[in-house]
Structure 1
Amino acid sequence: MGPGSPPATGAATPPPSAGHCAHPHCHGPRFGLRSPDFPASRHPGSLSRGPRPTRPGPASLRTILAAGASRSGSEARGRRSWGGASVGSHPLRLSSSTSVCISRHPPSRCSGGAELPVHRRGPEQRGWLWARSRARGGRPAAGAPEDGAEDEALARGGFLESFCESAETRALLARLPAVLGDRAAREGALERFRVIMDKYQEQPHLLDPHLEWMMNLLLDIVQDKTSPADLIHLAFKFLYIITKVRGYKTFLRLFPHEVADVQPVLDMFTNQNPRDHETWETRYMLLLWLSVTCLIPFDFSRLDGNLVAPPGQVRMSTMDRILEVAETYLVVSDKARDAAAVLVSKFVTRPDVKQKKMAGFLDWSLHTLTRSSFQTIEGVIAMDGTLQALAQIFKHGKREDCLPYAATVLERLAGCRLPCSNQTLLRKLGVKLVQRLGLTFLKPRVAEWRYQRGCRSLAANLQLCAQSPREPTVHAETPAGDGDCDVPEEVESVIEQLLIGLKDQDTIVRWSAAKGIGRMAARLPKELADDVVGSVLDCFSFQETDGAWHGGCLALAELGRRGLLLPSRLEDVVPVILKALTYEEKRGSCSVGTNVRDAACYVCWAFARAYEPRELQPFVAAISSALVIATVFDRNINCRRAASAAFQENVGRQGTFPHGIDILTAADYFAVGNRANCFLVISTFIAGFPEYTQPMIDHLVTMKINHWDGVIRELSAKALHNLAQRAPEYSATHVLPHLLSMTQSLDLHTRHGAVLACAEVTRGLYRLAVQEDRPITDYLDDAAVRGLKHIHQQLYDRQLYRGLGGELMRQAVCVLIENLSLSKMPFRGDAIIDGWQWLIDDTLRNLHLISTPSRQQIKEAAVSALAALCREYYAREAGEADPARQEELTRQYLADLQSPEELTRCGFSLALGALPCFLLSGRLQQVLAGLGAVTLIRPEDVSFAESRRDALKAISRVCQTVGVRAGGAPDEVVCEANVSQIYRTLLGCLRDYTTDSRGDVGAWVREAAMTSLLDLMLLVAREQPELIEATVCQQVMCCVAQQASEKIDRVRAHAACVFMALLHSGGSPVPHVPHREELEKLFPRSDMASVNWNAPSQAFPLITQLLGLPAYRYHVLLGLAVSVGGLTESTVRYSTQSLFEYMAGIQKDLRALEGFSGTLLQVFEDNLLNDRVSVPLLKTLDQMLANGCFDLFTAEQNGQSVKVSLSLLCPLPAQNRGHEHVY
C-alpha cells in the first residue's frame, strides 16, 4: 500500500505513518509527529497528501496525565498530514517546565537517520520539531557537524500562516500572455513563481484554498484554441511547479474530468514530441490530466461513435489511443514516465478496459521487461516505467482481476534477475511488485490471531479508563478459520524474495521489503507467520552484514506495529534488539551500524505503541537501560535523538520506565544534540538513579573504552570519572581491576582507552575521598595501587612507546601521570617517579617526531603531567624544593631551549612555565633570561615563530606563578628590578612580522605577546600598581591599538579585546592609561560584548576615532596605512571609508590637519626601508590625495613644508631599499 491509499480489506491496522518522501534524493519512508501549532512538514519537496483521519492509538499515562488528553478526535482529524501520513500528538503538560508528548509517529526513517519529536523545555516553547538525517545507508557522513546547530536553527525558524503572495501570483499568471514574447521577462516570471512556491514546500497545505483559481487561470490558457504552443507550454510549467509543491494526488481532483475533456486532452498529445526535453512538464501534466479523465463512469466505446479517421489512416478507438499514449511514455527518460504509470494503473483497471486490454498490456509489459537489460541506460528506463506500472496495477486492481496473471508475472519477474542489478530503484520496484503479487495470491483477511492492544486513540482510551476499570484483553490461541486458509505455493517464493530484500545493500529496498513482510504476514495463518518471524530473526546473525541487521529491525518494527509479533516471541526478539542498539562494526577508518542502531530505536518505539505494559514488564529494565545508554553514549547525533524519542514513547505509552519524566526533562531533543554534554553532564544526572548507574558504567567499559574513535575513548574515560563517584564501590572493586587488565591488551585502542579510564576513575575516586575526608587508599586495595604504578614500566618494557601507537600511549600515560599525581597516590620517593619524568622529558624532546594532528594534544598532556608531578612529588615537607632535583630540571630545560629543533624549544618553554613556585625560587632570573632569549629573532631561527609564541606564554605563566612584590628579590618574584625587562621582551615581540610559506606567522607571536601583556598588566595592577610606569603603560596601549587597526581579522579582534580589557579592567584599574576619559566615552564597556571586532565594518569606524588622540595617532595611523593599502577587499573598503570620514571631519581644522600630516610623514620616514609599511602607505597616500584630503594645503603656504618633505622622502635610490621580513 502506498501513502494516502486506504488499507486493503482484511489487512492489519495500517501504520500510523507510512509514506515515501518526495524529496528527489530521499526514497525512504517518512515518519513524524507534530502538534496542532506545528502546521506542516519540515521536509523540502515533501508532497503533503491532504487531511486524513487520525489512526487509533493505544492508551498511556492513564491517570497521571489524563487531564492533558482533552483534545478531541475531531481536532486531530482536522490536521494536515505529512506525505500521506496522519500526523498529530497530544502534548500533556505536567508542569510549567515539562511537557511529555505521546507521539503518533516513530523516531526513525529507514535511511538510518532520525526524524524525531522535540522535547521542548519551558512553557513558551510549544510543539514538536524535526531532525533530518544526513547519513545515507546508515554510514556517518564525514565531517558532519556534531552539535546539531543546523537542526536547531531549522526548528526555530518562522512559519507561514497563509498564502501571502496571492495577489502577486494572480497578477503574475494573468500577464503570462504579455511576457511570452520577451524571453527575459518570461524567465523572470517563471523564476519568481518558483521562488514563491518554494516558500511553501514545508507548509503546502496553505496553498489549498488557492489551488482552484490558480489552476483555472492556467487551464483557461491551455484550453484556449488561439493560444500559441509556447504559451501552452509555459502554462504547463507553472502547473508543474504547483504540483511539485502540493503533490500530484491533491492536484488530480482539481483537473476537469468530464466526458467532453477526454478527446481534447488526447488530441493534445498529437502535437507532443516525447524526445523534446524542453517541454516535459507539458507531457507530465497532460498524462496526469488524462489519468483523471479515464475515471469517467461510461464505457469508452461510447466515445468512438463520432470519430472520423483522417484520409488514408485506420481509425483508432479511444481506448487504443489512451493505451498507446501510456505505452509510449512508460519508456521515456523524463518524469512523464512516472505520470504514465499513474495513468496505466487507473486506466487498465477500469471494468471495460480490463476485459479487453489488461492481458495485452501485461503481455507487452512482460515482453518489455524480458527484452530490456539493466546494464544499459535504455533498458533501465524501460524497466523502471514498466515495473512502476505493474506495481500500481496490482496495487489498485481488484484481486480477482489480477490473480490469473500473478503467477506468470512472478515467474517472468524472477527471470529478470533484478536482485543482481546495480540500479537501486529497479531493485526497490522489484521488491514492491513482488509484495503486491504476494498480496494478490492471499485473500484479504483480518488475522484473528494477531495481538490487539485495545483502542488506538489515546483520548478515547483515557475516556474509557475513566468510565470503567479496564478488562484484560483476551487473545485467542487457536483462532477460528486458520485451518481453512489456502496458501498458494507462490507465496513461499514471494516471502523468500522479500527476505532477500531485507538484506539488500540499499535502504529503500530494505524498507520496501520490510513493509512487504508485514503486509504478507497479516494474511498468513499463525503458524506460517511465526515461521516468517523466525526467518526475520535469522537476519541478526553476526555473520550477516549491517544491511541485514537494519532490514531485520525494520521488519520487526513493522510486525510489531501490526500486532503480528505475539508476546510469546518477545523473549527471542528483545535480546536481539538490545544487541542492535549497540551494533557497530569497524570498517577501515570508520564504522558501520548507525542505521542499525537507529532502526533498533524505531523498534522500541513501535513496541511501546503495540503492547500492553504487562507484556513488556519483564523487559522494562533492559530496554530502558539500553535506550538511556543509546541516548547519552551513542556516537551519532541522529541515534541519540532517536533513542530519546523512543524512550519518551515508552515513558508515555508504557508508564513503567523508572524515572522516565525526570530523564526526559534532562535528555531532551536539543540537549542530546551535543555529544560532550551527553557524555559528561546528562550521563552524570541519569547515573543518579541507581537503576541505570551500573549498566551505564558497564557499557562504557565494554563498548566505548575500546572504541575506534579516539574522541569517544576520551569522552568515555571522562564519563567514568563522573560515574565512579556515583558507584565508588563498584568502580573500585570491579571496574578498575578490569581496566587494569585491559592496559596490557594487544589492541592499541583498547590499551589507550584503558589507560585513560584508569586515570579518570582514580581521579574520580580521589575527589569523592576528599569530600568524605578519607585517603584514596580507602577505596583502592594494594593490588590496584600496584597495578596503577606498574602501567608505565610494563609499557616501557614492551617498547609500546615506540612505533605504531606510541603517540597515543605517550598521551595516555601523561594523562595517567597527571591524574595519579593530583590524586596524591603514595609514590613519593618511588623509582616510578624517575620513569615518569623520563617519559615527560623524552616526549617533549621528540615532539618533532610526532605527527602533526596529535602533536599539540601530546605537548599539552606532557606539560600538564609535569606540573602535577612536580607539585606532588618534588616538594619537601616544608614546601621547599629538593636542590638536586631543582638544579637538574632547570639546567636541563634551559639547555634544551637552545635546541636546533623548534618543537623541542616549544615543549621545554612550556615546561619551564609549568614549574611550580618552589622550583622557580632562586632561579627566576635564569628562567626569564632563557625564555627571553627564545623570543629573540636570529638569522638561524627566523621561522621559529611557534617557539617564540610558546616562550611568551611561558613568561606569562611564570609571572602568574611567582607573583609580584615591589621590593622582592629578582630571583624570587616579579619586582622593580626585573619587571622592565619583562615589558621590553613582550613589547619587542609585538614587532614580530615574520612571514614564510605559511603566511604571517608572526601574528601568532603578536597575539601571544598581547595576551601576556594583558595578564601581566592586570597582575601588577592588582598586586603592585606602582610598578606600572606611565611610559610603559602608554607603550602597551599604543602598540595594542596599532594591532587593533591592522589588516588580519583575527589579530585585530584579539587586540581590540585586550585593549578593552585593559581599559575596563574590573577591580583594580590599570594606572596611567593615556586619555582614559576620552577612551571610556569612545569605547564604553558595553562595546566589549556588542561589537564584532572581526568584522571590518564594525571595527574600523571605532578604531579610527583614536586618530583624534595625539598619544595614539602614530600607531593607529601606522596600522591603518597597512589596512587601507592592503589586498583584502572588505578590509580595504571599510578602513578607507573610516579614514576618509575622519579626514572629512578635520578638513576645516588646519591645526588638526597639520598634526595628522606631520604624523603621516613621520610614519613614512620611519618605514622607508620597510616594504611591509611603505608600499601600502604609498597606496594610502595616493587615495588620500585623489580624494582631496589635503586640498586645504593647496591654498595655504603652510602646506609647502609637506610637499618639500614628500619630495625629499620619495626619490630614494632603489638600491638602498631593503626587503626585510622581520621588523
Structure 2
Amino acid sequence: EEGKNQETGVITTRSILESFTESQEVRGLIGNLKGAFGDLVTRETIVEKFVGIMDKYQEQPHLLDRHLEWMLTLLLDIIQDNGSPPPLVHLAFKFLYIITKVRGYKAFLPLFPHEVRDLQPVLDMLVDQNPRDPETWETRYMLLLWLSMICLIPFDLARFDGNISEEEHTRVPTMDRILTVAKCYLAVSDKARDAAAVLVSKFIVRPDVKQKRMADFLDWTLSMLSKSSFQSMEGTVVMNGMLQALAQLFKHAKREDCLPYAATVLECLDNCKLSESNQMVLRKLGMKLVQRLGLTFVKPKVAKWRYQRGCRSLAANLQAQGSVVQSQMTTVAANEADDEEEYDIPGEIENVVEQLLVGLKDKDTIVRWSAAKGLVLTKTCLCSKISFQETDNAWHGGCLALAELGRRGLLLPSRISDVVPVILRALTYDEKRGACSVGSNVRDAACYVCWAFARAYDPAELIPFINQISSALIIAAVFDRDVNCRRAASAAFQENVGRQGTFPHGIDILTAADYFAVGNRVNCYLTISVYIAGFPQYTQPMIDHLVNMKINHWDSVIRELSTKALHNLTPRAPEYMANVVLPRLLPLSVGTDLHTRHGAILACAEITHALCKLAEENNRSITHYFDEKSLEGLKQIHEEVCSNRQLYRGLGGELMRPAVCTLIEKLSLSKMPFRGDPVIAGWQWLINDSLRGLTLASSAARQHIKESAVSALAALCNEYYINEKGEADPALQDELVTKYVSELQNTEEMVRCGFSCALGALPRFLLKGRLQQVLEGLKQVTLISPGNVSFAEARRDALIAIAKVCQTAGVKGEGSQEEYVCKDNIVQIYATLLNAVTDYTTDSRGDVGGWVREAAMRSLMEVTLLLVQNKAELIDANICKQIMCCVAQQSAEKIDKFRAHAGSVFLTLLHFDHPPIPHIPHREELERIFPRSEKETLNWNAASEAFPRITQLLALPAYQYSVLLGLSVSVGGLTETTLRYSAQSLFDYMKKIQNDSSALESFCDTLLKVFEDNLRNDRVSVPLLTMLDQMLANGCFDTFTMQENHPFPVKLFTLCKEEIKRSKDIRKLRSSIGVFCGLIQFQGDMREKVFFQLFLLLCHPFPIIRKTTASQVYEMLITYSDVVDPAIMDLVLNILSDTNW
C-alpha cells in the first residue's frame, strides 16, 4: 500500500528444507571439539557455526530425528571419557543443549542412556557442579534432564544405598541426594530451574519416593511459596521454581495421589495473590497450577454429553450421506446422556473456576490463553454471554475459551444460539482508547472461534446461523483495519467453506479474498468488496457495516477508504443507497461527533456522485434517485457547518474544510441543479477562505486542504460559472482572476502556494483574455528576492501551475498571447522555467531548491511535449539545447531522488516520437548511449548504473560543460557511494582521452570555465577543489607534466589562489592544499609560486590548516622527490614531521 494508506503487516519468508544436509559438517564440528576447546576464538567460532546450522531447523526440527542418536553418542563419548577436562565436558553439554533447544527435550531425552549404572555417575557429576556459575548452566540443565530420565528405572532407590552402618553417619541415601539437588536448582534463576521442575515431576511420582517424601516435598514448596514475595527479584525467582514444580507434579502424578493435598495447595495459592503481581510469568504459572488442581478435583470421566464430531474428512463432508451419519451419531450420544452417573462436584471447583474466569481478563495474552485452556480442561461450562461492559481483555479471554470449548467438543449444539451473538459482536469489537483503539486481539480470537466451530460441528447444527457468520467473516476479511485480522477471517471463512460446505458462494469468494489477497487494505476496500457485493446475500450487510462502524472510525484513513468503498458499492444497491443510506447519513453530516460528521459528509459526497453517474448512464434524471428533501439536505450541509455551528474553526476545521470541499467537488461533478443558488457563493467563500487560511492549518493538514480546495474550485467553475455560450461572466471572471493573482504576492508562503495551484486549476473559459496576467503573476512567484528566499514550496507550486495553465490554454502559433501559448509568450515561459532549474536554495530543511528544480524539469517536459504535439515550430534549436543541457546537468548531480527524476525527463524527451522533439543536440550519439530498450530499466537512483552512462556525455561538446558542472558536485561530494561511482566513471573517461590531445585540451578548457564561472560559489567550488585534488592524484593530467609552464596548471593555480583568498572555510582550505600539492608535479616557474602558497598555509592562523599542510607537503615531497635539493631533503622532512604544528 502507498502513502498514508500504508499499514504495518507481517511478511514472512520460510525456507522449506528436505533433509539435514549439514550432517557431515556437524560430525566434523563435534569431532574437532577435543582439539579446539582450549583456544577461545576457535571454540567460539565452532559454537557459532553449530548454532547457525541448528537454527535453520527451528521450524522443521523433525528433520533431525534420524541424526539425533549419532550426535548424542559422539557427545556422550566426550562427556563419559574420564580423561576429558572440564572445559571440554562443558562444551559437549553446550552442544547437547543447542540440539535440545531446537528439537525439544521431550523428543531428545529418551535417547539418553538410562540404565542402573548411569545413576551414580550422573548424580555425582551434578553434585560437583557450581549452581551459581554463569558459564556452565547448559551442563547443569542437561544433567538434570538426564537424571529425570534415569529416575524412571523400576528399582527401589534404597537398593543403591547398600547397608549403611551406624558408624557411617555422613552417608546420605540416594533418594535424599536427588531430592536435595532438585530443591537446590528449583531456587536458581537460570534455565536449570525448568529442568529441576521436570526432574521433580518424574522423581516424586515414583512409588518408593511418593510414600516417603511426597508430603514433605509439598510442605517444603508451600512454605517456600508462603515465605517469598513477588515484589522482590529473589522472591520472584523462588516462586517461579515452586510453581513450575507444583504444576509439573500435578500434571504427571496420579489423581488419587494428589487429591489429599490439592485443597491445601489451592489455599496457599490463594494467599499468594498472584493476580496482583506484575510478573506475567508468575501469573501464567499460577493459571497452569490452578487448572491442574481443577483437573485433580474433578472426577476424570469422558462426558457422554460431549458433542460427537464424527468424521473430520473433507471428502466425507462432500458426500450427502455424511450429514445423516453425523446426525445419527449426535442422537445416540444425546440418548446416552441419561445414563450418566451422578457425582458431587467438590466445593473447591468453584474457586478454581473463579480464578480461571479472572484469568480470562488478564492484561497478557499468554495468561488469558492458559486460563481459557484451563476452563476447557476442567470441562466447566462458560457463561453463555459476555457482558458488553467488559474490558477488551475479558472479551479476548472469553473468545479463546469459547474456541477451546468448541474445538474439544465441549460446547453442546444447543448453546450455539447463545454463543453466535457474542461471536458476531466480537468480530467487530473496536473500542476507542485515547487517540487509537483496542480490540484487534479480540477480533482475531473471534475468527479463531469461527475456525474452531467449523471443525467441531455438523453442518446441520450451524445452518440457522450461516448467513450471519458468513457475512460477519466477509466483513472482517475485507474491512478490518488490521492485516492479521483480515487474514484470520479469511482463513476462518476458508475453513468453513471446506468443512461445512454451506457458506453461500464460498468457493467463488475464496478465489478473490484468499489469505494473500486480503493483505492489501486498499485492494480489499475498493476492489474485493465490489466483487463480493455482487452476491446479494452480502451486499446489504457490507454497506450497513461501513455506514454504522467505519465512516465514524477513529482512523481518518479508514473513514476515507470506507466512503470510497461506498461509492464503488452504490451500483450494487442504488435504491437502498438512495432511500435508506443517504437519508440516514444526512443528519449525521451535521451532528456533534467530529469523526462521524467527517465520515458522513464524505460518504454523502461519494454516494451522491455514484448515483448521479448511474442516472446518467441509464439516461435518467437526477430526481430519479433524489427527492427534494435529499437535495435540500445536501445543500444545507455547508450552511449548517459554517453559519450555525461554526465548525470550520480550530483543529476540527482541518477535517471539515477538506470534507466539505470534497462534497462541493462531487456535487459539482454530479451536475446538481443549484445554478444561481446562493449556496454557490457560500461554496466559493469556503474555497477562498481555505486557501487563504492555509498558514493557520497544521503542517500535516495543509496539503490535503489545498488539494481538496483546488479540486473543488475546478469542478465548481466548470459546472456553475459557464453560460450557455461556453463563456464566463466578465465581472465574475475579472473578480476571481484579479483576486487570485493579487494573492500571489501575499507575504505568507502557504497563501502563495494555495492560489498558485488554484490558478493552475482554472478552466480555459476563465483564462481567456487573462492568460498573460496569470502567467506574469506566476512568474513573479518563481523569482527569488531577499524577502522570499525560503519560499521554495511557493516557487514549486507556481512552476507546476504554469505548465497546467499552458495545457489548459492550448497552443496557437499566431494566436493572441492573452488566450493561447504562442510565439509571443513562449520565450517568456521557457525563460521562467529554465531559470528555476538553477534554484539551489538551502535552509534548515536541506536542499529545498531541489523541489523547485524537480517541478521546473517536469514543467519543461510537459510544455515541450505540448508544443511538439501542436506546434513544433515554436521550439527553436537554442531553447532545445538549453533544456537538454539543464536536464543533463541535473542527471549528473549527487542527490539520488533528483538525479532519477532528471534522468527520467531526459530519456522521455529523447525518445518521444509522437512526433520526435526537434533540434536535440547529438541525438544519434545519445540514442547509442541510452538505447530505447533501456528507458524503463535503467535505474537512475543507483549511482553504479547512472554515472557510467552520464559521463559518456562529456565527449559531446554541447553537453560537456553542463555534465562536468553536475559531476563536480558529485565527485567532490560527501556521500560515499555517489563519490565512488562518479569518480571512477570520470577517471575512466579521462584514461580514454589521454592520447587524444584535442579532447583533453577541450576538457581542460571546460573545466577551467566551470571553475571560473563558479568562483566563490561554495556550492560548486568546494567540491570542485576536492575533485581536482583527486584528478591530480590519479594522474589525469600527466600529459602536461612534460611541458614547462603549460597554461592549464598555471590558470588552475591562479583560480585556486583566488578562490581561497581571505577565506575562513576550513573544508575549502583543506581541499585547496591537496590541489596545490598536486600542482607541484608540473614543471616551470609556477612551482616556486606553489611552494610560496604552501608556506603561507603553513603559517595560517588555524592549527588544523597548518597541520594538514605540513602532512600533505611531507607526502608530496616523498612522492615528487626531484622538486627539492637532495642535500636538504632530510632537513625539510624532519622539520615537517617533528614540528608541533
Normalised TM-score (structure 1): 0.85
1:1042 pairs with one of 889, 898, 910: 889
Quick one: distance in 1 between partners of 2:933 and 2:104?
Answer: 52
How far apart are 1:463 and its partner, in Å? 8.1
1:507 pairs with one of 345, 351, 365: 365
Distance 1:464 1:791, change over 3 A: closer
Deviations 1:637-688 (A, max 9, x none): 1111111111111111111111111111101111111111111111111111
Q: What corresponds to 2:1078 in structure 1?
A: none
Q: What corresponds to 1:139 in structure 2?
A: none
SS in 1 for 2:132: coil
2:676 pairs with one of 823, 829, 851: 829
| Contact 1:1045-1:1123 at 8 Å conserved across structures | yes
Q: What corresponds to 1:239 in structure 2?
A: 96
| Contact 1:964-1:1020 at 8 Å conserved across structures | yes
Q: What corresponds to 1:1003 in structure 2?
A: 850
Q: What corresponds to 2:382 in structure 1?
A: 533
Deviations 1:127-163 (A, max 9, x none): xxxxxxxxxxxxxxx9996263x52xx24x5422222
Distance 1:900 1:1164, change over 3 A: same
SS in 1 for 2:180: helix
Deviations 1:1018-1048 (A, max 9, x none): 1112222221111111111111111111111
Distance 1:811 1:223, change over 3 A: same
Quick one: distance in 2 between partners of 1:377 and 1:925?
Answer: 79
Q: Matched residues, percent identical? A: 68
Quick one: distance in 2 between partners of 1:903 and 1:957?
Answer: 19
Matched, 1:607 2:456: no
Distance 1:880 1:468, change over 3 A: closer
How far apart are 1:470 and its partner, in Å? 6.5
Quick one: distance in 2 between partners of 1:143 and 1:297?
Answer: 68
Q: What corresponds to 1:209 in structure 2?
A: 66
Quick one: distance in 1 between partners of 2:48 and 2:891?
Answer: 45
Q: What corresponds to 1:953 in structure 2?
A: 800
| Contact 1:332-1:381 at 8 Å conserved across structures | yes
| Contact 2:1015-2:1059 at 8 Å conserved across structures | no
The one-letter code matched in structure 2 to 1:251 is F
The 5 Å alignment of 1:780-791 reads 780-791=626-637
RMSD value, Cα: 2.0
Q: What corresponds to 1:69 in structure 2?
A: none
How far apart are 1:1067 and its partner, in Å? 2.7
SS in 2 for 1:591: strand
2:570 pairs with one of 712, 724, 749: 724
2:354 pairs with one of 480, 492, 496: 496
Matched, 1:347 2:203: yes
The 5 Å alignment of 1:676-825 reads 676-797=522-643, 798-825=645-672
Q: What corresponds to 2:253 in structure 1?
A: 397
Q: What corresponds to 1:1201 in structure 2?
A: 1047
1:587 pairs with one of 426, 433, 452: 433
Larger Rg: 2
The one-letter code matched in structure 2 to 1:556 is L
Quick one: distance in 2 between partners of 1:216 and 1:195?
Answer: 21
How far apart are 1:478 and its partner, in Å? 6.9
1:520 pairs with one of 375, 378, 385: 378
SS in 2 for 1:276: coil
| Contact 1:584-1:591 at 8 Å conserved across structures | yes
Q: What corresponds to 2:1017 in structure 1?
A: 1170
Q: What corresponds to 1:1075 in structure 2?
A: 922
Deviations 1:809-834 (A, max 9, x none): 00100110010001110111111000
How far apart are 1:375 and its partner, in Å? 0.6
Q: What corresponds to 2:517 in structure 1?
A: 671
Matched, 1:317 2:178: no
The 5 Å alignment of 1:268-287 reads 268-287=125-144
Q: What corresponds to 2:7 in structure 1?
A: 146
Q: What corresponds to 1:302 in structure 2?
A: 159
How far apart are 1:498 and its partner, in Å? 1.0
Q: What corresponds to 1:448 in structure 2?
A: 304
Distance 1:477 1:802, change over 3 A: farther
Q: What corresponds to 2:342 in structure 1?
A: 484
Distance 1:467 1:499, change over 3 A: closer
1:173 pairs with one of 14, 30, 52: 30
How far apart are 1:462 and its partner, in Å? 6.2
The one-letter code matched in structure 2 to 1:839 is L
Quick one: distance in 2 between partners of 1:308 and 1:959?
Answer: 113
| Contact 2:816-2:822 at 8 Å conserved across structures | yes
How far apart are 1:457 and its partner, in Å? 3.7
How far apart are 1:460 and its partner, in Å? 6.1
Q: What corresponds to 1:194 in structure 2?
A: 51
Quick one: distance in 2 between partners of 1:1005 and 1:849?
Answer: 24
| Contact 1:147-1:673 at 8 Å conserved across structures | no
| Contact 1:553-1:599 at 8 Å conserved across structures | yes
Quick one: distance in 2 between partners of 1:854 and 1:1171?
Answer: 36
| Contact 1:1025-1:1071 at 8 Å conserved across structures | yes
Q: What corresponds to 1:1120 in structure 2?
A: 967
The 5 Å alignment of 1:28-47 reads none
How far apart are 1:467 and its partner, in Å? 13
Deviations 1:903-927 (A, max 9, x none): 0000000000000011011111111
Quick one: distance in 1 between partners of 2:569 and 2:317?
Answer: 41
| Contact 2:304-2:336 at 8 Å conserved across structures | no
How far apart are 1:357 and its partner, in Å? 1.5
The one-letter code matched in structure 2 to 1:328 is C
The one-letter code matched in structure 1 to 2:41 is A
SS in 1 for 2:432: strand
| Contact 1:394-1:437 at 8 Å conserved across structures | yes
Bigger shift: residues 475-484 or 650-659: 475-484
Runs of 4+ aligned residues of structure 1 deviating over 4 Å after TM superposition are: 142-145, 306-309, 459-471, 1213-1219
How far apart are 1:942 and its partner, in Å? 0.3
SS in 1 for 2:818: coil
The 5 Å alignment of 1:1062-1141 reads 1062-1141=909-988
Structure with larger RCO (C-alpha < 8 A, sep 6+)? 1
SS in 1 for 2:378: helix
| Contact 2:1031-2:1037 at 8 Å conserved across structures | yes
Q: What corresponds to 2:689 in structure 1?
A: 842
Q: What corresponds to 2:420 in structure 1?
A: 574
Q: What corresponds to 1:551 in structure 2?
A: 397
Deviations 1:1139-1159 (A, max 9, x none): 111112222222221111111
Q: What corresponds to 2:766 in structure 1?
A: 919
SS in 2 for 1:706: coil
Bigger shift: residues 1173-1182 or 199-208: 199-208
| Contact 2:318-2:501 at 8 Å conserved across structures | no
Quick one: distance in 2 between partners of 1:899 and 1:458?
Answer: 72
Deviations 1:387-445 (A, max 9, x none): 11111111111111111111111111111111111111111111111111111111211
The 5 Å alignment of 1:80-159 reads 146=7, 148=9, 150-151=10-11, 154-155=12-13, 157-159=14-16
How far apart are 1:607 and its partner, in Å? 1.2
Q: What corresponds to 1:381 in structure 2?
A: 237
Distance 1:828 1:166, change over 3 A: same
1:1025 pairs with one of 869, 872, 882: 872
Deviations 1:37-57 (A, max 9, x none): xxxxxxxxxxxxxxxxxxxxx
| Contact 2:571-2:610 at 8 Å conserved across structures | yes
2:903 pairs with one of 1032, 1036, 1056: 1056
Distance 1:737 1:505, change over 3 A: same
Q: What corresponds to 1:367 in structure 2?
A: 223
Q: What corresponds to 1:265 in structure 2?
A: 122
How far apart are 1:799 and its partner, in Å? 0.6
SS in 2 for 1:295: coil
Unaligned runs of 5+ in 1: 1-141, 522-528
Quick one: distance in 2 between partners of 1:1132 and 1:415?
Answer: 70
Deviations 1:307-340 (A, max 9, x none): 999x986111221111111111111011111111
